[in-house]
């Protein structure tokens, strides 16, 4: 149990376009999900906490207008990278909270050309 | 500021040798520490947490508040233990946010 999926697993887009990444908890409900970013050979950096039915809480230095988070249901949170630029290229990972344990998705690799 | 330090990027051992992956933390509140593991081409998964005080796959970790450490240990490493290991700190206050260390790659050679 406690499976989290992400879609797509990888995406390539042109600079200036927007990309949406989905995070789903498949076999449990999650009122709280988290979005992380991981650069090559670096650790996971928390971007924001996504709360079902309310606004996301962003970490310091993360632009909320650039990284739009929507947590419209108890099993789905989406991260939209707006007006993507090459520096947004990264590995984006979500997690869903069940109890007090985070369960992680497989990640989405975003490449912005 | 909250911080998790894993001083070793790579730890290379032979099969059967003892393993200790170091983790130190900095946090003024009541810490809750985790070890996560990421095997090749797989997602991050929870290995163990300090409040459980359990042994998973032969690994143990003890929280030492005096030394602010949560080192991961295994007496006899196996090749299948080769993976990336991340130490993480959960902030108190019900936020459940995790602060990750940089990670240590464990390579167990035959």
Mean pLDDT, chain B, whole residue set: 91
Give mean pLDDT, residues A24-50. Answer: 92
Tens digit of each residue's pLDDT (9 = 90 or more) over B53-74: 788 899 999 899 899 999 999 9
Pairing, β B19-21 against β B24-26: unpaired
pLDDT at residue B5 in the model: 96
Q: Could you tell me which chain B residue has the CA closest to the CA of A42?
A: B102
pLDDT confidence of residue A54? 86
CB-based contact B97 A34, cutoff 8 Å: yes
Three-state secondary structure call for residue B79? helix
- The CA distance from A55 to B62, in Å, is 37
Closest residue by Cα to residue B59 from B96, B24, B97, B87: B87
Task: Write out pLDDT tens, residues B75-88.
Answer: 999 999 999 999 99
Does A3 touch chain B if contact means CB atoms closer than 8 Å? no
Instruction: Give the C-alpha separation, A45 to A32, whole Å.
Output: 17
CB B1 within 8 A of CB B26: yes
Yes or no, beta carbons of B96 and A32 under 8 Å apart: yes
Nearest chain A Cα distance for residue B16, angstroms: 27
The Cα of A45 is separated from the nearest Cα of chain B by a number of Å equal to 7
Q: Quote the CA–CA distance of A83 and B46 in Å, as a whole number.
A: 34
CA-wise closest residue to B107 among B39, B46, B23, B5:
B39
pLDDT, residue A28, reads 94
Q: E strands, A1-113, where?
A: 4-7, 10-13, 19-25, 32-38, 44-51, 57-58, 67-73, 76-81, 90-98, 101-104, 108-112
Q: Is A31 on the interface with B (CB under 8 A)?
A: no
User: How many angstroms separate the CA atoms of A15 and A83, rounded?
Assistant: 7
Q: Locate B67 and state its tokens.
A: 């030394």
Enumerate the residues of chain B whose CB falls inside 8 A of the CB of residue A45. 100
Mean pLDDT, residues A50-57 taken together: 88
Instruction: Compare all CA atoms of chain B with the CA of A106 and give the residue at the minimum distance.
Output: B43
Q: Given this model, what pLDDT does residue B93 score?
A: 64
Residues of B in contact with A24 (CB under 8 A): none
- Alpha-carbon Rg of chain B, whole angstroms? 13
B102:A102 CB<8 A: no
- pLDDT tier, A59 (very low <50, low <70, confident <90, very high otherwise): very high
What pLDDT, on a 0 to 100 scale, did the predictor assign at position B94? 61
């Amino acid at each position: 149990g406690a499976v989290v999926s992400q879609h797509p697993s990888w995406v390539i887009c042109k600079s200036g376009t927007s990309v949406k990444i989905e995070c789903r908890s498949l076999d449990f409900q999650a009122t709280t999900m988290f979005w992380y970013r991981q650069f090559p050979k670096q650790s996971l950096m928390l971007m924001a906490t996504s709360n079902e039915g309310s606004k996301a809480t962003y970490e310091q230095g993360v632009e909320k207008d650039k990284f739009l988070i929507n947590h419209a249901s108890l099993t789905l949170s989406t991260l939209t990278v707006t007006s993507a630029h090459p520096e947004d290229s990264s590995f984006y990972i979500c997690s869903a909270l069940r109890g007090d344990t985070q369960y992680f998705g497989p990640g989405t690799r975003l490449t912005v050309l | 500021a909250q911080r998790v330090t894993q001083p070793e990027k790579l730890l290379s051992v032979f099969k059967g040798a003892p393993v200790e992956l170091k983790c130190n933390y900095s946090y003024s509140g009541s810490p809750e520490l985790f070890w996560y593991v990421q095997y090749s081409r797989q997602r991050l998964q929870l290995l163990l947490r300090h409040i459980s005080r359990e042994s998973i796959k032969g690994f143990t970790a003890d929280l030492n508040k005096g030394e602010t450490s949560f080192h991961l240990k295994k007496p006899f490493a196996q090749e299948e233990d080769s993976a990336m290991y991340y130490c993480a700190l959960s902030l108190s206050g019900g936020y459940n946010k995790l602060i990750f260390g940089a990670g240590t790659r464990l390579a167990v050679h035959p």
